[in-house]
Structure 1
Amino acid sequence: MTWLLVGLGNPGPTYAMTRHNVGFFVADELARRAGSSFTAPRGMHAEVSVTRISSAGLGAVGADATKLVVAKPRTFMNDSGRAVRKLCDFHQIPPERVVAVHDELDIDFETLRVKFGGGDNGHNGLKSIRAHLGTGDYYRVRYGIGRPPGRQDPAAYVLQPIPSSLREAYAVQTTHVADAVESLLTQGLERTQNLFNS
């Protein structure tokens, strides 16, 4: 049974290095590990990298290998569900085999949480996925970005470029979140929560 890993973000160079795009960072890292590249299949509203995952890792074959579709929607964040729905329909993936990686204001930077189902916590990407799938019963990997300092508007904060002084730290954290995704897909939710949730 195929998995869909969707990294949430906004398309285009304007948003490329913003906190709202950490889902894209993780999708890119997973594709890099698998040695697979992204294409833009007609009608999918996403950049897609198709690979396999097994206990031997991403891109590896083995008796327990399963297909993994890694996607970066080409819609804007608040319409992410349109791409997710198209990909689920095309690859015959049920909601419970979907993993969304997204930025999370309510979790401090350099921490993450993995969970199944739950509310959308005001996140427009998650709201859109729920609307298009008709359920919130899919996996979420919550990449903590923390609250903005002082009185800064959260909407402005998530769409600002990550300061150059923090980019190395974000690169390290992206690797850690990608590790959590691999663990979720190969070892399951409970083991992954024990290893990674903080």
Structure 2
Amino acid sequence: MVRLIVGLGNPGPAYDRTRHNAGFWFIDRLAAAHGCVLREESRFHGRVGAINLTEPVHLLAPLTFMNRSGLAVAAMARFYKIAPEHILVVHDELDFGPGVVRIKRDGGHGGHNGLRDIMAQLGSGGFLRLRIGIGRPAGSMAVADYVLAAPSVSDRQAISGAIEKALACLSELLAGHVEQVMNRLHV
């Protein structure tokens, strides 16, 4: 059962529209859909809130910058005594094209520095991941430049569609039906 949903991104207006903020886009849409206003909470190093679906679920958007996301996740997980297996981390995924969304249980960080830091801070990679496809850079563009740039209008629409698909499955996912959600999303 998921008790904490974390949307990864970078804080500040300079990053609001960048691909790396797909996790923030998700968490903001989720909060808005449930009438939740995320508020800054210094002890959790992020914007936080809670929604009530099948049971209360904490929301977190770390304000530590992507590479230090684990600081915020670990602080909230420790405070509320949430084990890694009850955490869902939502993040951008280079390995999938825009519009693709996948669930993954456990695993490595795949080069994603936000996941790397969360794993280091929690001492475990045993959390769920909601991976929102952003695609890979074309040609010789550096990955860092790509993820920190805004997507094209069509890519942003595809990413938005992926977020909507994921939100439509969220209650089922929170109820612990991970395989069923995988079957719905992984088509």
TM-score, length-normalised on structure 1? Answer: 0.89
The question of whether the paired residues in 1 share the 8 Å contact of 2:85 and 2:128 is answered with: yes
> Which residue identity lines up with residue 106 of structure 2 in the other structure?
G
> Which residue identity lines up with residue 49 of structure 2 in the other structure?
S
Offset from partner CA, 1:103-129 (integer Å, 9 cap, x none) = 110112111110110111000000000
Partner of 2:14: 14
Partner of 1:40: 40
Partner of 1:4: 4
The question of whether the paired residues in 2 share the 8 Å contact of 1:2 and 1:69 is answered with: no
Partner of 2:100: 111
In terms of mean alpha carbon deviation, does 76-85 or 148-157 score higher? 148-157
Q: 1:83 aligns with which of 69, 72, 77?
A: 72
Offset from partner CA, 1:63-111 (integer Å, 9 cap, x none) = xxx1101110010100000000001011111111000001110112111
1:158 paired to 2:147: yes
1:139 paired to 2:116: no
Q: Secondary structure at the match of 1:15?
A: coil
Offset of residue 161 of structure 1: 1.5
> Which residue identity lines up with residue 10 of structure 1 in the other structure?
N
Q: What's the Cα RMSD here?
A: 1.5
> Which residue identity lines up with residue 78 of structure 1 in the other structure?
N
The question of whether the paired residues in 2 share the 8 Å contact of 1:2 and 1:93 is answered with: no
Q: How many residues align?
A: 187
Q: Secondary structure at the match of 1:43?
A: helix
Partner of 2:180: 191
The question of whether the paired residues in 2 share the 8 Å contact of 1:141 and 1:181 is answered with: no
> Which residue identity lines up with residue 56 of structure 2 in the other structure?
K
Check 1:151–1:133 CA distance in 2 against 1; reply closer, same or farther (3 A cut).
same
Give the alignment of 1:66-77 within 5 angstroms: 66-77=55-66
Partner of 1:99: 88
Offset of residue 150 of structure 1: 1.8
Q: 1:130 aligns with which of 101, 119, 126?
A: 119
> Which residue identity lines up with residue 139 of structure 2 in the other structure?
G
The question of whether the paired residues in 2 share the 8 Å contact of 1:2 and 1:91 is answered with: no
Q: Secondary structure at the match of 1:17?
A: coil
% identity of equivalent residues: 40
> Which residue identity lines up with residue 116 of structure 1 in the other structure?
R
User: In structure 1, what is the Cα distance between the partners aligned to 2:21 and 2:179?
Assistant: 26
In terms of mean alpha carbon deviation, does 184-193 or 161-170 score higher? 161-170
User: In structure 1, what is the Cα distance between the partners aligned to 2:79 and 2:2?
Assistant: 11
Partner of 1:181: 170
TM-score, length-normalised on structure 2? Answer: 0.94
Offset of residue 2 of structure 1: 6.5
The question of whether the paired residues in 1 share the 8 Å contact of 2:8 and 2:66 is answered with: yes
